Amino acid sequence: MFSLKSVAARLKTQPPSPTIHDTGEIARKYRYWRVRVMYSTTVGYAIFYLVRNNMPMATKSITDEFGFSNTQWGAVLSAGTVIYAFSKFLSGVIGDRANPRYLLGIALLVSALVNAVFGFASSLGCFAALWALNSLFQGVGVPPCTRLLTFWYSPREIGRAWGIWNASHQIGSAVIAVWAGYLVAKHGWRAAFLAPAGVAIIGAFWLMNRLADSPESMGLPPIEVYKERVKRPADAPSVPFREIFVRHILANRWVWVVSVANFFVYVVRIGIVNWAPKYLIEARGFTLGKAGVSLSLFEVAGIFGALASGWLSDTVFRGRRGPVSAGFMLCLVASVLALFAVPAGRVLAMMVLFAAMGFFVYGPQMLVAVAAADFATKVASASAVGLTGLFGYLGAAFCNVATGMLVDRFGWNGALAMYAVSAVVGCVLLATTWAKASPLLDGESA
């Protein structure tokens, strides 16, 4: 079933099917497939997090068992993060010309198998190599989802649709924070990689069964034509992708602005996701269980932050993502700075702050991708989101190394100061996109 030849054949985009002309049938099929695409991508990408965000809850047990320093472990995390960053960008380029059904499913399957092997590793070099390999296939996860969202939802509703799908990040992260914490406490850190790997293997085959390609592959008209709200993009599939890539990505100033901003958004987001359990245990006296609950609150609050930011940018700001992104980042700055003011032992106050940081960081994290897809239009949306991912995870790689070094030298307050400064820079950059929206909403040619 999975020979190289058969995999290559499945990864090709599905050609258009004979067009359906009955308006009732078109409406029925669109309703059915939009719901199916949404729940499949949301659940599917949440499963990706089970075999990626299992690492933070296992970090302390691994470093204690093998005697790794914060700097050494930061290097392991950064090795994976750099690979993830470039994988996300290259996968974006591929994702604009690949069948998302199999691209997503195969990537999850391989990631699950690598996690299973990771559960038997016992040296720093082996940890670094396996986590880098896992990150290579984890980077493939977002571009197929981007392609599906932009092909099945119009620019006037993409913020809200993306906000719903974006909940997959928090659902997966919240589930694994609690589950991995339980597995580490009861069965050791290796169980936190082996058990999620089993779930992800099942999930990979489920995804390949559930997903479809574009509406055209199902005999439906393009989403713009179906919605009759924005005109059909000028670029057709017959236009060479190199020309599309240069025009919509390389020469597009605004895609680059939000990509650079994402570097700083991810310094804060990944700093909290990867280092919060260790920070809360060492600096705040939390138990592993309370640290896991705090990280879960961060993720759960992020669901509402993404939904709120998507709704606000679609409705109140009529497709402009900049005002909401900048406003959320300003509130994030205040939330990070508030960590310095909370006395030791105030567990509830710290949990509330972690929820606030999750709400305010996941809004911009989601809207950066939406803005990039808006600015590039759907013909290059996966590539644009891949570029934001490249910068985001370069920021994450920098964050992992810098956090380890700052904590070893200056303590945890040094790392928190870096997060606050990064949030300020991200806020300024995103504010420059204040007046920009999708060219399609402005009535321009894509």
Choose among 124, 187, 411, 394: nearest CA to 278.
411
Residues 84-137 pLDDT 10s: 888 988 888 888 788 999 999 999 999 999 999 999 998 999 999 999 999 999
Distance CA 130, CA 111 (A): 10
Residues 199-210 pLDDT 10s: 999 999 999 999
Q: For 65-74, what is the mean pLDDT?
A: 87
288-311 helix and 322-338 helix, angle to the nearest 10 degrees: 160
Distance CA 443, CA 220 (A): 23
Give me the pLDDT at residue 249, please.
85
Asked whether residue 441 carries a pLDDT value surpassing 80, the answer given is no
Residues 14-26 pLDDT 10s: 888 888 989 899 9
Whether domain 22-227+244-431 has CATH 1.10.10.10: no
Choose among 420, 429, 165: nearest CA to 322.
429
Residues 261-290 pLDDT 10s: 999 999 999 999 888 888 998 888 888 888
- 0.85 exceeded by pTM: no
393 near 262, Cβ under 8 Å? Answer: no
- Given pLDDT bands bounded at 50, 70 and 90, which one contains residue 234? very low
Q: What percent of the chain has pLDDT over 70?
A: 93
